[in-house]
A = this chain, B = another copy of it.
Amino acid sequence: MDRTSDDPHDPDLVAVTEGGGTALGTARPSGLGRERILQAAIDFIDEHGLAALTMRRLGSALGVEAMALYRYVPGREDLLDGVVETVVDTLFEADDGDDIYIGDHSGWQDYLMRLAHGVRRIALAHPAVFPLVASRPPAAPWVRPPLRSLRIVESFLGTLTGDGFSDQAAVAAYRAYSSFLLGHLLLEVTQIGAQVSLLDQPEGDPDAQARTDLDQFPALERTEPLLAQDKSAAEFEEALENLLDRLDRVRHEARNGENGDVLDL
């Protein structure tokens, strides 16, 4: 249940300093500005959840009336699009020095590893925003969340095709990879949300009722302690490595002219 106790050294789980940590020298501007609004919206969602975000409340969180936001954002839907774009774009910002996501890399496997952990870090840093990243309609029909920007997809395909993948194999890899990321991370952040929402309502022992109701489900009752464990980091790593192995097989088949199932025209 407690995430940190199960794996105290998850490298994608970074401490989030409240307030977003505006760096030195960037004084808080008194004016509003689109950037400031989007960051405030992200902070608000992180703190109060997506459902609680309204224009009026976001305005008052910025010390301003709701209508003031419309000078910088066309409407609520566009605000949410901006939130998603802002969060995803942190992928391109170099970290505090020890981890560059996609800037330079050695080989496509290293690239995919860095990218996966970069996206996972984002998801864990903003668990309440990630479902938005997953579900907002993308720019083009073939853009697959959570790899939402053309820039990332271009980088993905360019890296793989520049490293021995045929175009077909690169596209197949892009689809398998995005499916994996979306499924795993969406479930991981959902479980985080479910946990905190359980802590909100401390009616005695929260899951005492659920556990006693399990007597009709013998397999569930027996494995319940296993199910309650959080192994997200290890499972992510193992599934990612399995996927990379599979993609490596696809890559060689493509080079040898054999016919991977999904690769034929």
Contact = CB atoms under 8 A, between A and B. Distances in A.
A210 B153 CA distance: 14
Interface in A245-265: 246, 261-262
Contacts of A94: none
Contacts of A144: 187, 190-191
How many copies of the shown chain assemble into the complex?
2
A223 B137 contact: no
Given A183-B184, A184-B183, A262-B238, A171 B223 contact: yes
B141 A231 contact: no
A191 B141 contact: yes
Contact of A226 (B171, B186, B237, B261): B171
A138 interface: yes
B190 A179 contact: no
A18 to B, nearest CB: 25
A187 B219 contact: no
A139 B170 CA distance: 39
A150 B214 CA distance: 9
B219 A154 contact: yes
B137 A197 contact: yes
A14 interface: no
Contacts of A228: 141-142
Given A186-B134, A219-B161, A227 B171 contact: yes
Interface centre among A141, A150, A228 (most CB of B within 10 A): A141
Contacts of A197: 137
Interface of A: 1, 131, 134-135, 137-142, 144-145, 150-151, 153-154, 157-158, 161, 167-168, 170-172, 174-176, 178-184, 186-187, 190-191, 193-195, 197-198, 207, 210, 214, 217-220, 222-224, 226-228, 231, 234-235, 237-239, 242, 246, 261-262
5 nearest interchain CB pairs?
A: A183-B183, A142-B227, A179-B183, A157-B219, A154-B217
